[in-house]
Structures are given as C-alpha cells and as structure tokens.
Amino acid sequence: MNIKDVSARTGLPAKTIRYYEDIDLIRPARRPNGYRDFSDTDCHKLAFLSRARTLGFSIDDCRTLLDLYEDEGRASADVRRIAAHHLEQIDARLTELRELRDTLSRLVSACAGDNRPDCPILRDLAADQSAPDHNQTDRNFSADGS
C-alpha cells in the first residue's frame, strides 16, 4: 500500500506518516524503486498512533505504548501507569484552565465595556506579575470595575 492509500485509511496526513517514519515509530518496507510499501500491520500501527495522539499522549508515550502493544508478555500495569500519569497531567491542565477561566471571567465582568479608557483587563495584563503580593484580579480592581 502506498502512502496515499495509508493516509486515506488512517486519516493521517502523509506528512505525519513520514514524520512517524523519520522518528522510527513505523518502519514500512521499501519497493525496489524506493517508494514506501505499507503493510496492513503498518496501517494498524498508524491508526493506533493516531488514536493515542488524539488522546493527548506524547510521542514518547506513544512509542512506549506501541512497544507494549507489540509485546505479548507485557504487564497491563505498565500500560496503566502510563495512562494514569497522562490522566494526572490532564487533570492538572484542567485545573489550570478552570483558574484561567475564573480569572478571565472576573476581568470581563469588571470591565464596563463602554467608551471610557479605563479597562481592568488591560490593567491586569500590565500588572507586575512578579510582585510577591500580586493577586491577579482581586488587587487590581473592585467588583464594580473601578
């Protein structure tokens, strides 16, 4: 199967497939003319990698997961450890995003959005973030935006 066919079957762009080959995640055979010759196994690995990347696993984690997938003597505990660590990273990012959302929500609420030049959003963005007592939003404006 050529790269165009594999791309169509997996939904991965040819550039991504070539990148995965460059970093040795897949190793398709080569035809005498030098073109890649992907097997069904290669296609399956690419679909596996696509799903893992969609779930946010790093390239290194994908490499490890693929190795574990191909190892019939693997311990599921090894797979679980990788997935649990990734889940912890996702949870930490969600916490950060909730904090960012809360901060931005307070800033938007505090901004009158009128013709006056005073803007608590800009004031907060310009604040010295390294100040030891800097509280991103509460210190920079009151609830009424003044």
Q: What is the CATH number of the domain that holds 31?
A: 1.10.1660.10
Q: What are the φ and ψ backbone dihedral angles of 13, each rounded to 5 degrees?
A: -65, 150
The answer to whether residues 120 and 103 touch, using CB atoms and an 8 Å cutoff, is no
pLDDT at 129: 77
Q: Are residues 133 and 80 in the same domain?
A: yes
pLDDT digits (tens, 9 = 90+) for 21-44: 999 999 999 999 999 999 999 999
Q: Which one-letter amino acid corresponds to residue 143?
A: A
Tokens of 9: 């079957």
Spans of the chain, pLDDT less than 70: 131-146
Q: Are residues 84 and 145 in the same domain?
A: yes
Q: Are residues 106 and 142 in the same domain?
A: yes
pLDDT digits (tens, 9 = 90+) for 75-93: 999 999 999 999 999 999 9
Of 51, 56, 54, 47, nearest to 85 by C-alpha is: 56
Determine the Cα–Cα distance for residues 24 and 71; give it in Å rounded to an integer.
17
Tokens of 52: 């893992």
Q: Are residues 99 and 53 in the same domain?
A: no
pLDDT at 131: 64
Structural domain boundaries, residue 1: 1-57
pLDDT at 132: 61
DSSP 8-state code for residue 122: H
Q: Count of alpha carbons within 13 Å of 102, Cβ hemisphere only?
A: 9
Strand ranges (DSSP E) for the chain? 29-30, 36-37
Do the domain assignments include residue 36? Answer: yes
Determine the Cα–Cα distance for residues 36 and 80; give it in Å rounded to an integer.
34
Output the pTM of the full model.
0.75
pLDDT at 9: 95
Determine the Cα–Cα distance for residues 65 and 50; give it in Å rounded to an integer.
12
Q: How many domains does the chain have?
A: 2
pLDDT at 130: 73
55: exposed, middle or buried (C-beta count within 10 Å: 0-12, 13-18, 19+)?
A: middle
Q: Are residues 30 and 3 in the same domain?
A: yes
The answer to whether residues 36 and 3 touch, using CB atoms and an 8 Å cutoff, is yes
